[in-house]
Each structure stands twice: as C-alpha cells, then as structure tokens.
Amino acid sequence: MKRRLLISALSSAIFVANTASAAQVSAQINFLSSLLTTEGDIHVELVLTNHDNSPVKVLKWYTAADGVQGNIFNITRDGEPVEYTGALYKRTAPSENDYQMLKPGQSINYSIELSSLYNFALPGEYRVQYQANSLHLFKAPQNEHMQSLKNNAVPFAYSALRSTAISTWVTGDPIAETIAANSTVTYNTQTLATSYTSCSNTQKNTINSAWSSAKNMSASATGYLSSRSTTQLKTAPRYKTWFGDPSIRVGAFWSPKAHERVEENFSDITDAIKNKPLSFDCGCTSSGTFAYVYPNQPYKVYFCGAFWNASRTGTDSQAGTIIHEVSHFNAVAGTDDHAYGHYGAKNLAISNVRKAIENADSYEYFAENTPQQN
Amino acid sequence: MMVYRSFIVGLVLLASGCDQNMKNLIGLGSNSSLTCTIKSTKSGDNQYLVTFIFTNTTNEPVRFLKWHTPFEGWWSQFLHVEQSGVELLYQGPMAKRAKPTEHDYIELAAHEHRSITLNLLNAYDVALSSPTTITLSSELSHPDSPNIDCSMILVRQ
C-alpha cells in the first residue's frame, strides 16, 4: 500500500517536471533567403532556446544535431500537405548520448536544407512549421531516475515542441518527375515515373541533366558497336582499349563473340536508361564513393559524395557513373567490378577479355570515350 | 553474367593464358605474404556468422587495400557462395569508388593476424541448414589488392 502511494506521488511529480520543461523551451524557424525557386535549395534555420533556470535535455532525433532524422516539419503547398521523403530510422529507446543539453538561457541553431527532405519540386506558396512530438522529447537532468521509472510503470507526459508557421513563395518551373524520353520514339510515360529520396532541388536537377547525357552517351556507344564488324573492331582503338580482342568467345566455341556480348549489354543499358522506372537516393555522403546499387534491385541508384563533384561528361563523369551503375543490375548487364579506374580497366582489356566484358568501369569508359578515340 | 561464370571457370584451361597474366599482375606487390582462413561462428536468429582471418606470414609489415575484402563489409562481390553445387546470387551493394585514401588500407605487422565477422544473411539468401562452400579469392585487379585465396565448406553454428 505504501509503495503504491509513493509511485503515484512520483508520477505527478514527473508530469509536472515534463510539462514545465516543455513550456520553457521554444522553437523558431526562419528562411535563410527570400527569393526561393525550384532551381535552388530551400535553407531554413531552426533555433531552440531554453528559457528555464535549469538545464534541459532535448532528444537529438527531433533536432538537426545529426541531420534531420524524421518528419519534424509540417509543410503545405497551396494548402495541400507535402510528403516527407527523407530517412526514417527504426529506434530502440533513447540513451543518454541521444540527448542534447541546453543550458539555462542557451540557444542552439541548426541550418537545414528542406528540399532534400520534402518535395519542393513544384512552384507555389509553402507554409512550414517545426513540430516535434515524443514521449522522450525532453529530459530534465535532475529527474533522470524518475524518468526511467516512468517508462516502466506510471502515466507519461507526451511532450510537443512547435514553432509558429512561416510562409514563402517558391517560383520557377516544376522539376521533371519523369525523365523525358527521346522525342523520336514514343514511350509509355507511366513507366518513366521517377522517385527521389533525400535529393535536394539542386541534386534532382543535376540527376536529370546527367541522366539525359547518359542516355545520349549510351545510345551512341550502342550505335558504334552495331555499325562495326568483328574485323573492323579488331583494329578500332576505342573498342580495343576497353574490351580488348573482340573475336574471343565469351564461353565455349558456339557462344557469342566478346563484342556481340558487349553490344547486347550496351543495348540493354540504353534501354534501361530510356525506358525503366527509376529511383534515386541522395542520402549517401561518402566522398570516396561515386554511387552504388544493389544489382538485384533494379532500378534504384544511390548517389554518394564523389558524384556531385564529378563533371557532367568525360572520365569518371556523372553521366558515365549512371552507365556504370545501370550496367550492374542483373536485369540489365549484370556486370561486376573487376578493376577500377582507367589504368585497371585498360590492363583488364589486355590480360583478361572475359573479365573486361563484365567489368562496369570498362562500359563506362568506353561510353565516355575520353580522350576521344575512333 | 554470373550465369556464365561456371562456363568460364571450366574453360580457363582453354583460354589463351589470360588468367596466368592476370595473376602475375596482382601478385606484384608484397601481398602474396598473406594467408586467409574462413570459419563458422556461433550465430543467433537471423544470422549466419562467418569469420575471416588474414595472417601476415612474413617478418615484415604488409599493407593492403581493403576494397573487395571482408574488412570493408558488403560493398562488393568478394565471395563465391555455393550451396548444393549452386552459386548463390550476391544481394548486397556494389560501389563505384574514387581513388583510395589512407583510410582504405590495412597494415598488418609481422606475423599479425586480423579477423572480422560478417553476417552472410546480409548479402546472400542462404539456406541455414545445408553446408555452404565459401571461396574468397582476390579478383579485383588493383596493384594494392591482397593476393589471397581460400575456400571452406561451412556448417552454420
């Protein structure tokens, strides 16, 4: 009986502690520039301030301390809700390291790019509000013991923190969510619907241009191969540099010649780039990686740090990277990575034709054709 | 093109000495001094843990690129995994890389060994109850890739 009384006394104390901290922390957001377009990114600043006399801990998952990790904004365009397309994390209960301390009177500012998290690809009037709701949002340091009790046994306080909503106009043309097909051929545009995850407006525009260059590059590679015979390719520097001897059989003596397999693969790469439903993820930031795919998961391409610094065309370019990645899909050419870089790919063409014709970089460099060879 | 792999393996002898050239190319570095071992490790639910051990057998330090080795995790198809004579499809990612940095290398002191344990289920659809043949051999044509070759028939623990 005595124990039960104690718990209920604790529970009301916790409730007070929680609502008190909630009331004492404020959130404010501002746009960092005033002229916003679909060509550019949408930067906002989030400011969290502790107005209390004692320190408060805020759960980082609902701030931008490690980047935005969930749907913490209410956004509408012309009154319609805008969907969150950023990352979602599966979590266990928060630990001490997941909290950010706000000292009495302290403010913390976060700079956040919204177009990689929410779809800002259409012009219109956008209304943005920060809103975090969680059982675990706040933690008053002196109440840690009671907090842990709370999780197990007693009624909890559901905390919320929100800013006032701010509005802005975004001007410009809609960013194509479908990548336009070659105008001379009619395609079913339904299958060309493109989806983006964690890609900002600038990144979406970059991908669309790179995709269009990749399409031309791949089509021209296919054209080069289909217009040349085995004998012609034997003396063609461009072919020989990247794939070696065109006449070697890819398997036993009745199997296709190497250049026939390469041509077939290029024709499948071109078809995939033009006609398949694509999806892009820009969440990877590794600067040592251009991109990656899961070969058995067509047609999703993950772009990483090195991709954004690459040139549009030429060696190790954005367009070439797309050809490289698309060639990996088992449903396309099922290539592997046997060698990276010009040096490695050239060596492969000399030392092992069968590996060269299943090496992704060899396809990329043949298509990029830089420096140009005939 | 993996479908053709068994054809290719079977026809290595018919090939015009290509594979021999390839071996010479990778073996140029000091990395032929590494040996590898593969063993099964006690696994929980949804796990098929496999431990890879690289040992420097020499009296000198050995430095190697960890791309396409177990030490960078599932970022390439560095294994051949077979069950009941059928090669399993690699289901992990493949990455296009920029130039390697210091961070992409591992150095082992004289006679040092280093191990890493990976969950096979993160990259292969393995049947838990049947024996699995795992082959690790360097197929990446890079001067700093380790020249290693080991194969083991494992039973999940």
- The tens digit of pLDDT for each residue in B31-65 reads 468 999 999 999 988 899 999 999 999 999 999 99
Beta carbons of A288 and B104 less than 8 Å apart: yes
Confidence at residue A189, expressed as pLDDT on a 0 to 100 scale: 40
Beta carbons of A334 and B2 less than 8 Å apart: yes
Q: Average pLDDT in the A26-44 region?
A: 92
Nearest chain A Cα to B145, which residue?
Answer: A339
Beta carbons of A251 and B95 less than 8 Å apart: no
Beta carbons of A288 and B103 less than 8 Å apart: yes
Cα dihedral A323/A324/A329/A331 (nearest 10): 40
Strand partners, A57: A101, A139
Q: Which residues of chain A does B137 touch, with a Cβ-Cβ cutoff of 8 Å?
A: none
Nearest chain A Cα to B99, which residue?
Answer: A288
The pLDDT tens digits of the residues spanning A186-195 come to 333 433 457 8
Q: Average pLDDT in the A351-358 region?
A: 96
Q: Are A220 and A339 in contact (CB under 8 A)?
A: no
Confidence at residue A140, expressed as pLDDT on a 0 to 100 scale: 63
Beta carbons of B91 and A291 less than 8 Å apart: no
> A158 falls in which pLDDT band (50, 70, 90)?
low
Active site residues of A: 325
Mutation for testing the A interface, residue in B23, B97, B103 having most A CBs under 10 Å: B97
Q: Which residues of chain A does B97 touch, with a Cβ-Cβ cutoff of 8 Å?
A: 288-290, 306, 340
Q: Which of A1-10, A77-86, B74-83, B97-106 comes out lowest in average pLDDT?
A: A1-10
Pick A224 or B14 by higher pLDDT: A224
Mutation for testing the B interface, residue in A243, A268, A340, A346 having most B CBs under 10 Å: A340
Q: Using the predicted structure, report yes or no on whether residue B91 has a pLDDT greater than 70.
A: yes
Closest CA to A137 of A109, A162, A155: A162
Beta carbons of A325 and B96 less than 8 Å apart: yes
Query: In A11-94, which ranges are E strands?
Result: 25-31, 36-37, 43-50, 56-59, 73-77, 80-81
Q: Are B130 and B84 in contact (CB under 8 A)?
A: yes
Beta carbons of B11 and A252 less than 8 Å apart: yes
Q: Average pLDDT in the A123-135 region?
A: 91
Q: Are B75 and B95 in contact (CB under 8 A)?
A: yes
Are β-strands A159-162 and A124-134 bridged in parallel, bridged antiparallel, or unpaired? antiparallel
Beta carbons of A292 and B96 less than 8 Å apart: yes
- The verdict on pTM exceeding 0.80 is no
Q: Which residues of chain A does B72 touch, with a Cβ-Cβ cutoff of 8 Å?
A: none
Distance CA A203, CA A205 (A): 5
List, in order, residues 6 or more apart from A229 with CB less than 8 Å away: none
Confidence at residue A152, expressed as pLDDT on a 0 to 100 scale: 41
Confidence at residue A87, expressed as pLDDT on a 0 to 100 scale: 78
CA distances from B129 to B39, B48, B156 (A): 16, 10, 7
Q: Average pLDDT in the A223-231 region?
A: 96
Q: Average pLDDT in the A292-307 region?
A: 95
| Cα torsion B24, B29, B34, B36: sign | negative
Confidence at residue A125, expressed as pLDDT on a 0 to 100 scale: 94
Which domains, and CATH codes, for chain B? 2-154 (2.60.40.2970)
Q: Which residues of chain B does A358 touch, with a Cβ-Cβ cutoff of 8 Å?
A: 1
Q: Which residues of chain B does A292 touch, with a Cβ-Cβ cutoff of 8 Å?
A: 75, 93-96
Q: Are A59 and A138 in contact (CB under 8 A)?
A: yes
Q: Which residues of chain A does B140 touch, with a Cβ-Cβ cutoff of 8 Å?
A: 337-340
SS3 A363: helix
Nearest chain B Cα to A333, which residue?
Answer: B1
Pick A53 or A258 by higher pLDDT: A258
Q: Are A45 and A111 in contact (CB under 8 A)?
A: yes
Mutation for testing the B interface, residue in A250, A254, A292, A324 having most B CBs under 10 Å: A292
Confidence at residue A86, expressed as pLDDT on a 0 to 100 scale: 80
Q: Which of A258-272, A274-288, A304-318, B22-36 comes out lowest in average pLDDT?
A: B22-36
* Averaged confidence pLDDT in chain B: 83
> A153 falls in which pLDDT band (50, 70, 90)?
very low
